[in-house]
Structure formats: C-alpha cells, structure tokens
Amino acid sequence: MTERKDELAGNLAKVEERIAAACVAAGRKREEVTLIVVTKTYPASDVRILSELGVRHVAENKDQDAAPKAAECSDLPLTWHFVGQLQTNKVRSVVGYADVVQSVDRSKLVTALSRGAVRVEREVGCLIQVALDAGERERGERGGVAPGGIEELADLVTEAPGLRLDGLMTVAPLTGEYAGRELAAFERLMDLSTDLRRAHPAANMVSAGMSADLEQAVAAGATHVRVGTAVLGVRPRLG
C-alpha cells in the first residue's frame, strides 16, 4: 500500500469503529447507518483510494472543485452527494454528476434542479436542508430552511419532474437554542423526519453528524453521517 492509502485505511477503520460503537450504544444495526466521506478540498486521487478501500458514498460542497473530480472518477462505483450551499447558476453542472443534492432549501432551487435533471435525463435525489438556527420560515446562516418551510418544499420536490424526495439533512447549528446541543438538534431533526414521512413515507433519509458529532447523530437515529476530517485529515484550506 502507498503511504496515503495506509493513512486513509487507518482513518477509515477508526471512523468505522466509532460508527459501530455508536450503533451498539443506540441499539441499532450497523447497516442502518451509511458513511458518506466528504472529500471536499482533497484530490481525485484520494477519492480513487477511498473507492479501493470500499467507500461507496462521497460528498462535495463546491461545484468548481467537485465537477472535475467527479469527471476524473466517473469510472468508480460511487454515489455523489452535493452538500454545499447551491446557487441556481451552478445547478446545470451539479446535476451532471450529483446523485443526491442534500442542500435543497428554497423553491427557486427546486425549479432549477428539476429543469436541469430533466435536461440531462437523470433522476436527482433531494434532501431538504433544515436550519435549526433560523426563525420560522427564514433561512439559516449556513443555508437550510426553517422547520416551518419543510412541508411546502417537500411537496414541490415531489411534484417536480426529474427529482425524488429522499429526506432531510442538517448541520448542527453554531448559534441559537441548539448551539452546543448536537444531540438535541439531531433529535429535533428526527421528529421533523417523522412528520415528513407521514405524507412522504419513502423520504426516509436523515443526514446528520460530521467528524465531531457522528455519535450524537447515530444516537438520534440518523441514517447517513457525513465525515470529512476524521477520514482525510484537517483540510489544507477552507471548504
């Protein structure tokens, strides 16, 4: 193995151990939680190594980095998640490689994603990003719609050609009533997911938890954790 492959294999094993332990602690089966490795700012060569090591889900947050990387890795059996704030002028590019967009937070974006997905004849999975630090019906500091806006967006996605409603996503808030209370934040997301599934039973993905708080996410019931730093190392630049 190369040095980098050794390093990533070791990190992956540690993350796997953490997820497994969190599942045991929560009385959940390991298969209930899917690891998504967030490869933002890291090169396509790392994505290739991760694929060789058995990773099947990767995530990116900036189209200008993600698009060439996804193109370089198009031969790999990977599911690509887009997790960053998304401007409508980038949608055309993103729907070319993203299987799931986890950051759907406004109706204009739904319209653009639908048009783009139809154009390239792909079905794009959508998670509604929930901002737990926003006032009712507002948007969060780091994107996301307030809980009061979920239902309307969910209905829009469901009716939009080319799109599939998969569930909800959140990032633990740094401000507001949930600041520093990751478990409470993720439990709130689970309650919102339960509400959503009454009208949309197939939308059962719950994406929560990153390197620092994946245990809390698994404890709350997350189906997907998004882990960057703990697998790839501290990012060389902001992203």
Q: Rule CB under 6 A: which residues touch ligand PLP?
A: 38, 40, 61, 83, 171, 210-212, 226-230
**132: closest CA among 97, 105, 156?**
105
Contact 73, 48 (CB under 8 A): yes
Q: Give the nearer residue to ligand PLP in terms of CB position, either 14 or 119.
A: 14
Distance of CA 110 to the CA centre of its chain: 17
Q: Give the nearer residue to ligand PLP in terms of CB position, either 82 or 97.
A: 82
Contact 131, 176 (CB under 8 A): no
Q: Give the nearer residue to ligand PLP in terms of CB position, either 61 or 193.
A: 61
Block residue for tokens 């294999």: 9
Residue 140 C-beta: closest distance to ligand PLP, Å: 12
Q: Give the nearer residue to ligand PLP in terms of CB position, either 102 or 193.
A: 102
Residue 171 C-beta: closest distance to ligand PLP, Å: 5
**150: closest CA among 180, 195, 102, 217?**
195
Residue 20 C-beta: closest distance to ligand PLP, Å: 18
Contact 8, 50 (CB under 8 A): yes
Residue 77 C-beta: closest distance to ligand PLP, Å: 22
Contact 98, 84 (CB under 8 A): no
Contact 189, 170 (CB under 8 A): yes
Q: Which residue is nearest to ligand PLP (CB)?
A: 228
Q: Give the nearer residue to ligand PLP in terms of CB position, either 140 or 149.
A: 140
Tokens of 214: 């994946």
Residue 236 C-beta: closest distance to ligand PLP, Å: 12
Pairing of strands 79-82, 100-104: parallel
Residue 213 C-beta: closest distance to ligand PLP, Å: 9
SS3 94: helix
Q: Give the nearer residue to ligand PLP in terms of CB position, either 23 or 65.
A: 65
